Amino acid sequence: MSAEQKLTYLRLRIRAREQIKSGRIPFRAPPELSGGYGPSLNECVLCGMAIVPTQVEYEVCVAERRLNLHVACYAAWRDECLHRLGDHTLRGPSSAALRALVR
Ligand SMILES: [Zn+2]
């Protein structure tokens, strides 16, 4: 992972953490998802950007909500959920450390 990719990932982890805290997205990523290219132009629930047809879109259903995400956004959300559930292999830096890294 390049430094730029790592920075993008950390920003997405921060966003996932904030959105989980605010209740905008669930704290548990479901184990099953579907994905593919499509002309949907759905908005990514995490970053808010459109998912354009040349990008892979992941779609998950949680509590009767359908969530659409970019692949990288899904990964950040999933990792943040696993971190919150105590998966120590994905122990992330503290919120303060994440913020320091991206400022
Ligand atoms: Zn996104």
Ligand 1 centroid vs 100 CA: distance in angstroms?
22
Measured distance CA(30)–CA(87) in Å, rounded: 15
Q: What is the pLDDT of residue 72?
A: 93
Q: What is the pLDDT of residue 13?
A: 95
Edge-to-edge order in the sheet of strand 34-37: 34-37, 56-62, 65-70
Ligand 1 centroid vs 16 CA: distance in angstroms?
10
pTM of model > 0.75 = yes
Measured distance CA(62)–CA(87) in Å, rounded: 21
Query: Which residue ranges in the chain fall short of pLDDT 50?
Result: 103
Q: What is the pLDDT of residue 78?
A: 92
Ligand 1 centroid vs 26 CA: distance in angstroms?
15
The domain ranges of the chain are 3-102
Q: What is the pLDDT of residue 96?
A: 61
Query: Within 13 A of 82's CA, how many CA atoms are on the CB side?
Result: 13
Q: What is the pLDDT of residue 22?
A: 95
The answer to whether 28 touches 81, Cβ cutoff 8 Å, is yes
Measured distance CA(25)–CA(1) in Å, rounded: 26
3-state DSSP assignment of residue 25: coil
Ligand 1 centroid vs 93 CA: distance in angstroms?
21
Q: What is the pLDDT of residue 16?
A: 96
Q: What is the pLDDT of residue 49?
A: 94
Ligand 1 centroid vs 57 CA: distance in angstroms?
9
Q: What are phi and psi of 58, to 5 degrees?
A: -100, 140
